[in-house]
């Protein structure tokens, strides 16, 4: 006989239709956790409580030899981060029948009246919360988190407050979904909304990216240098794709900007480096060169947001326009699209005497190209390998969260 695996909701019997309820009631053996078994106190068959899974699997295999009717009770959809995966690893598919109920993610999104086909679901049961950090940095629109005692709602909230991703989310704590008398939805706005002593252990946390516009910034309250990353408008699908604050500070220091200079920002991206340069050297002219239309839009929006008017935005490939621009005193290359050597050859003929180039390089290959070029052309250069780690609280502990390594090469034309 096949083993029946029945998904059950928090209302117990009420969550099952007549057909599935009959399957449970006719079982010779009921297998489940304490909560699941408690829904059927009148059941006369044998009961196997789920504890050690290896032992339970062994018992089920032994009972199955007797050709008796075995029903396993599970929460929601057994094949959604549930016991179904373990059963399929221990029994042939033809030995199992699944009768799913609604999953906690389905229930949560329906309560929030939001579609969920594009949701990223992450189980944090015994897993590293780094999974959430990666998804937030991607800018995922919707994230559902299955929590555990270590990665609980308070830990998740504190982590979100610490990482600066350039995007804001509405965060919902959903408890006891499916139990009409106990279910609860709480929008988390501060730690005060999270009382671990009163939260149901049957909870799920939902992240929904906000659609509203940025709040206006107070220009007078901005630092002279080192604008926080989350103040910049960034790519909707990759909000973390920005030259990070700490790296910008290194770049700006190496550029050694002065007033009344011509400065090129090649591969300007969101314009974060250009914005910083424009605010430091207000009497200089910055040329932000970028070939991607979406990035050009972001540069324009950021220029307006930070009220800078000494940035000239150029929508084109750098190699096509640099020869027509005023000769630079400083050049920053943040992106080369695989044309680094070509760009350097053009810059060599345009840059002013004693001009300086600063390049941010993520790959060893591009670093090699740059070093070889500077050697061949007899430029003085210096390399900084930046490997920055930022403190990050995880529960009651603190660890370091690494930024991507960046090589910063500074070169001066002799």
One domain for residues 384 and 253 = yes
Cα–Cα distance between 164 and 185 in angstroms, integer? 26
* Structural domain contains residue 133: yes
- Residue where a domain stops, chosen among 209, 236, 255: 209
User: Would you state the pLDDT for residue 48?
Assistant: 93
Claim to verify: residue 296 and residue 378 sit in the same structural domain = yes
Q: Are residues 407 and 300 in the same domain?
A: yes
Number of domain units in the chain: 3
Are 95 and 26 found together in one domain?
yes
What is the Cβ-side half-sphere exposure of residue 46, based on CA atoms within 13 angstroms? Answer: 9
Q: Token pair for residue 257?
A: 């900007």
* CATH at 124: 3.30.950.10
Tell me: the pLDDT tens digits for 326-369? 999 999 999 999 999 999 999 999 999 989 999 999 999 999 99
Q: Is residue 134 part of a domain?
A: yes
Residues 138, 47, single domain; the answer is no
3-state secondary structure the chain: CCEEEEEECCCHHHHCCHHHHHHHHCCCEEEECHHHHHCCCCCCCEEEECCCHHHHHHHHHHHHCCCCCEEEEEECCCCCCCCHHHHHHHCCHHHEEEECCCCHHHHHHHHCCCCCCCCEEEECCCCCCHHHHHHHHHCCCEEEEECCCCCCHHHHHHHHHHCCCCCCEEEEEEECCCCCCCCEEEEECCHHHCCCCCCCCCEEEEEEECCCCCCCCCHHHCCCCCCCHHHCCCECCECCCCCCHHHHHHHHHHHCCCCCCEEEEECCCCCHHHHHHHHHCCCCEEEEEECCHHHHHHHHHHHHHCCCCCEEEEECCHHHHHHHCCCCCEEEECCCCCCHHHHHHHHHHHCCCCCEEEEEECCHHHHHHHHHHHHHCCCEEEEEEECCEEEEEECCEEEEEECCCEEEEEEECC
pLDDT of residue 210: 83
Domain finish residue from 102, 129, 147: 102
Query: What confidence tier does 164 reach under pLDDT thresholds 50, 70, 90?
Result: low
45: pLDDT strictly greater than 60? yes
Both 93 and 127 in one domain: the answer is no
The pLDDT-based confidence of 181 (bands split at 50, 70, 90) is confident
pLDDT tens, position by position, 91-149? 999 999 999 999 999 999 999 999 999 999 999 988 888 889 888 888 788 999 999 98
The answer to whether residue 402 scores a pLDDT higher than 80 is yes
User: 236 and 336 in one domain?
Assistant: yes
Indicate if 187 and 236 belong to the same structural domain: no
Same structural domain for residues 325 and 275?
Answer: yes
pLDDT at 180: 86
Is pLDDT of 211 > 80? Answer: no
Query: Which of 102, 129, 164 delimits the end of a domain?
Result: 102
Q: Indicate whether 220 pLDDT > 70.
A: yes
Q: Does 118 fall in a domain? A: yes
Which CATH number do you get for residue 405? 3.40.50.150
pLDDT of res. 407 = 96
In this structure, are 45 and 59 located in the same domain? yes
Q: Is residue 214 part of a domain?
A: no
* Whole-prediction pTM: 0.60
Q: In the Cβ-directed half-sphere of 356, how many Cα atoms lie within 13 Å?
A: 16
> Does residue 147 share a domain with residue 292?
no
Mean pLDDT of 73-80: 94
Is 177 domain-assigned? yes
* 269 and 400 both lie in a single domain: yes
> Is the per-residue pLDDT at 216 higher than 70?
no
- What is the span of the domain harbouring residue 38? 3-102
Whether 86 has a pLDDT exceeding 70, the answer reads: yes
| Within-domain flag for 153 | yes
């Amino acid at each position: 006989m096949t083993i029946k695996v029945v998904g059950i909701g928090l209302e117990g019997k009420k969550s099952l239709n007549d057909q599935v309820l009959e399957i449970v009631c006719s079982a010779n053996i009921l297998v489940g956790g304490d909560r699941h078994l408690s829904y059927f106190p009148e059941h006369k068959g044998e009961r196997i409580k789920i504890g050690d899974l290896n032992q339970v699997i062994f018992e089920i295999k032994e009972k199955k030899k007797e050709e008796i009717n075995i029903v396993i009770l599970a929460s929601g959809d057994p094949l959604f981060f549930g016991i179904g995966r373990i059963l399929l690893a221990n029994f042939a598919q033809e030995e199992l029948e699944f009768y799913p109920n609604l999953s906690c993610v389905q229930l949560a999104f329906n309560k929030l009246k939001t579609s969920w086909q594009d949701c990223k679901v992450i189980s944090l049961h015994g897993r590293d919360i780094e999974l959430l950090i990666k998804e937030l940095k991607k800018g995922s629109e919707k994230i559902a988190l299955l929590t555990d005692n270590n990665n609980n709602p308070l830990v998740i909230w504190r982590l979100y407050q610490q990482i600066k991703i350039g995007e804001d989310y509405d965060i919902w704590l959903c408890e006891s979904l499916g139990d009409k008398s106990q279910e609860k939805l709480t929008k988390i706005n501060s730690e005060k909304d999270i009382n671990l002593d009163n939260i149901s252990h049957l909870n799920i946390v939902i992240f929904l990216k906000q659609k509203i516009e940025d709040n206006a910034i107070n220009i007078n309250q901005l630092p002279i240098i080192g604008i926080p990353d989350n103040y910049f408008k960034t790519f909707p699908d990759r909000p973390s794709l920005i030259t990070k604050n700490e790296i910008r500070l290194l770049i700006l220091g190496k550029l050694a900007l002065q007033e009344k200079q011509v400065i090129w920002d090649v591969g300007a991206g969101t314009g974060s480096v250009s914005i910083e340069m424009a605010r430091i050297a207000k009497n200089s002219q910055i040329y932000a060169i970028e070939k991607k239309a979406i990035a050009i839009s972001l540069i324009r929006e950021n220029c307006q947001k930070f009220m800078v008017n000494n940035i000239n935005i150029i929508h084109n490939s750098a190699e096509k326009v640099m020869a027509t621009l005023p000769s630079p005193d400083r050049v920053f290359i943040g992106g080369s699209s695989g044309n680094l050597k070509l760009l350097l050859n053009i810059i060599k003929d345009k840059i002013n005497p004693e001009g300086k180039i600063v390049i941010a390089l993520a790959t060893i290959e591009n670093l090699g190209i740059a070093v070889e070029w500077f050697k061949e052309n007899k430029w003085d250069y210096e390399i900084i390998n930046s490997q920055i780690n930022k403190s990050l609280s995880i529960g009651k502990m603190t660890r370091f969260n690494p930024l991507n390594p960046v090589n910063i090469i500074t070169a001066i034309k002799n």
